[in-house]
Copies of this chain bind each other. A is one copy, B any other.
Amino acid sequence: MTYHKKYMDRAIELAIENVRSNKGGPFGAVLVKNDLIIAEGVNLVTTTNDPTAHAEICAIRTACAKLSSFQLTECSLYSSCEPCPMCLGALYWARISTLYFAATKENAAAIGFDDSFIYEEITRPIDHRVITTKHSAHDRALEAFRLWSQSSKKTNY
């Protein structure tokens, strides 16, 4: 899908306005489908006490609610900044087609956001991570997976 500067203008405007109004971090995002904005998002982590309320995730949640769908195929996300691993993961789960971003994760790191650090952590073996992480074997660990595989009622995603 073709890049349109007007949508990035809007994502950046949202980011600027979010700092000015003191609602949260300096990030904005816009979701576009069929050349229309279907959802906008800003960072609301501190004002909603939700560490997952990044601009991209807010935009995805709003768009999915609007379309009554858990997938956003044929949608483009315009983000004022390169998404963190959490948001990038959300883009994949939402099956978004195209991502445009303006500032980079290095720019975000320069003003104190941990994105680059989290990118590094995710590639480390689990026993070398800052969050103490342990694979705890359990005799019923795969029971839900077996039930899922056998279920004829399930909705795949």
Q: Which residues of A contact B (CB under 8 A)?
A: 1, 3, 5, 8-9, 12, 15-16, 18-20, 22, 24-28, 45-46, 49-52, 57, 60-61, 64-65, 67-72, 80, 82, 84-104, 107-108, 110-112, 114, 117-119, 121-123, 130-138, 140-145, 147-149, 151, 153-157
A90-B51, A157-B46 in contact; A140/B12 too (CB < 8 A)?
yes
Q: In the complex, what residue of chain B is closest to A77 when comparing beta carbons?
A: B131
Question: How distant is the Cα of A88 from the Cα of B156 in the complex, in angstroms?
Answer: 22
Q: Are B86 and A65 in contact (CB under 8 A)?
A: no
A60 contact set on B, CB distance < 8 A:
51-52
A16 contact set on B, CB distance < 8 A:
140, 143-144, 147
